[in-house]
Amino acid sequence: MVPQLTLFVKIKRLFGQQSAACDYPFLPQLEKAIGHRFGDPSILVRALSHRSYSSDGQDPPAKDSSNERLEFLGDSVLSLVVNEFLYKRYPDKREGALTKMKSVIVSKAILSHYAKRHNLGSFLLLSENAQRARVGETDSVLADALEAVFGAVFLDGGFEAVRPCIKKLLLSDLEDIFYNEDNINYKSLLQEYIQALHKVPPKYRVSATTGPEHAKEFKVEVVVRGQVLGGGVGKTKKLGEQEAAKMAYKKLLNTSGVGEEA
């Protein structure tokens, strides 16, 4: 399915119209979802423009026509707002615990989950090839787009605008983020954390298989630099890896007291 904003813009191009961003009829729907009305809607359009779209039918593409620079800005804005929120919300927690809590909230896995919840993918501007490849449904693209939206809100309205936006879209669900198992891709979270800490990705290995051929169970271990961080069991290797990642990640979090007073 072609994202509705992409389809609308392509129709405008077909008829040679270069209307202002405020003419796009779908933006108010997104503005309502994120809780900010843009003084300059073109900033929001740029936040929704994937790099594939910036060169699709434009000769030459403008250097700032994709959302990559806004993503860069939004990443920093998001970190500052989340840090401020956690600092005030948890006055008794130490730096290590707050850092790990923040790492969960700003992870690609969590950001993409909330981007999907707010249907952000239907607003993305993508090239035809990217649409066919379903690029707009990938976690990394959705997470990056959400960060770009935060950057756009900051540019348009400053911290007083972006702070409530981030609280509405992410931080109002704080307990859900940490404790709802359905919201968390533990393999993604563990990989982000381990690579930041050790500069190498975690590895998974099947330590044993049990059961008959039609109902096998796979015991999987997650290993970093020869050390086993956790293990899990699943009916497929993928499920076993997810369980192993969950055990390892929760162990790492609890080491610094996330979920406990530290």
Contacts of 153 (CB under 8 A, 6+ apart): 34, 36, 38, 161, 162, 165
Q: How confident is the model at residue 22 (pLDDT cuts 50, 70, 90)?
A: very low
What is the value of pTM for the model shown?
0.71
Closest of 49, 25, 203, 180 to residue 120, by C-alpha: 49
Instruction: Please provide residue 210's backbone torsions phi and psi, each rounded to the nearest 5 degrees.
Output: -135, 160
pLDDT over 70 at 54, yes or no:
no
Per-residue pLDDT, averaged over 39-54, amounts to 90
pLDDT over 50 at 59, yes or no:
no
56, 71, 75, 144: which one is catalytic? 75
Residue 75 known to be catalytic: yes
Predicted local distance difference test score (pLDDT) of residue 202: 92
Residue 147 known to be catalytic: yes
Domains, the chain, with CATH or none = 4-179 (1.10.1520.10), 185-255 (3.30.160.20)
Q: How confident is the model at residue 64 (pLDDT cuts 50, 70, 90)?
A: low
Q: Give the C-alpha separation, 67 to 44, whole Å.
A: 9
CA distances from 40 to 4, 101, 115, 140, 161 (A): 20, 34, 22, 26, 14
The predicted-structure confidence for 228-252, as pLDDT tens digits, reads as follows 999 999 999 999 999 999 899 888 8
The residue behind tokens 């990938």 is 138
144, 147, 241, 243: which one is catalytic? 147
